[in-house]
């Protein structure tokens, strides 16, 4: 991998991490606001849980994509090419 390619990959990772941080902050702020609305309006059935669970699933998925997945390496690419052979051209 060339220095330019390494730099580009590092920039993409940093942007992905910043994007995740922004998503997480939005999740916390909006859900705190919803819990506040719930509390002020009588604190009956805890309806904010549905937003928290749905959006939380998306946050977990985003975290896995940013922090859990390893970058694709040249060795992996070459092994896939060797394994698939001519089938890739289809």
Q: Note down the domain range covering 59.
A: 3-67
Domain-embedded: residue 14: yes
Domain-embedded: residue 78: no
CA 80-63-15 angle, 5° bins = 80
Domain-embedded: residue 75: no
* b (16+ CB within 10 A) / e for 46-63: eebeeebeeeeeebeebe
Domain-embedded: residue 81: no
Each of the 90 residues of the chain gets a pLDDT tens digit; together they read 688 888 998 899 999 999 999 999 999 999 999 999 999 999 899 999 999 999 999 999 999 999 998 888 888 888 888 887 766 555
Write out the two tokens for 58.
């998306």
User: Count of domains in the chain?
Assistant: 1
Where helices occur in the chain by DSSP H, the ranges are: 3-40, 48-63, 74-84
Domain-embedded: residue 77: no
Q: Is residue 6 a contact partner of residue 13, using CB atoms and an 8 Å limit?
A: no
Domain-embedded: residue 60: yes
């Amino acid at each position: 991998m060339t220095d330019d390619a390494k730099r580009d990959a590092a920039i993409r990772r940093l942007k992905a991490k910043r994007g995740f941080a922004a998503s997480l902050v939005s999740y916390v702020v909006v859900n705190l606001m919803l819990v506040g609305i719930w509390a002020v309006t009588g604190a009956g059935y805890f309806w904010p849980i549905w937003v928290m669970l749905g959006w939380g699933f998306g946050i977990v998925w985003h975290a896995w994509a940013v922090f859990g997945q390893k970058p694709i390496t040249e060795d992996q690419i070459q092994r896939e090419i060797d394994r698939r052979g001519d089938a890739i051209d289809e």
